[in-house]
Structure 1
């Protein structure tokens, strides 16, 4: 966009300088030739800016895809770790419940024997 504005500014400047009747242009080119050259340059600048924008967009899409894949991998790793932690907690809870039941049974048996 900046290149387009610069090219348009250049074209306007060339047009204004070309309209000045006091001096002939330093290059010996006519106003029409200056405008044609400015238009050609603007066309090249627009093409370059479009190419640069396409390249930047492609890079941004690649970066977004990479970031998404990394986030998915991290989420999978965290889910796996959480599942492992839940499994261990379930084992511990089962062991604690079994221990409590055994202790309760032992207490009942002891009281029954008395």
Structure 2
């Protein structure tokens, strides 16, 4: 596995552990439907939380959350719509971003709740 892929995998694992420690229940990791993917799908209380995970070695040039572009947001929303319909989820949906900066031994984690809203023209 390429080194950057391993870093991303480590970041997703650490993000899932973080959410569990905060009382979330993980439903899916790397859920796919065709070309669409959701990094983490969790819930807490009556809210389905779709989490985009961004992992970087450093934030010198770009903060990780800045990599979540409008195009990426639209893809996440489309995938979430497919997920909610497939599993008939009755909960409200929230979109979060978790950023991890560092390496697998020591990540700085930031959890951005309600990071974005679904655009009207997906």
TM tier, smaller? under 0.3
Decide which structure has greater strand share: 2
What's the TM-score, normalizing by structure 1? 0.20
What's the TM-score, normalizing by structure 2? 0.20
Bigger radius of gyration among the two: 1
Decide which structure has greater helix share: 1
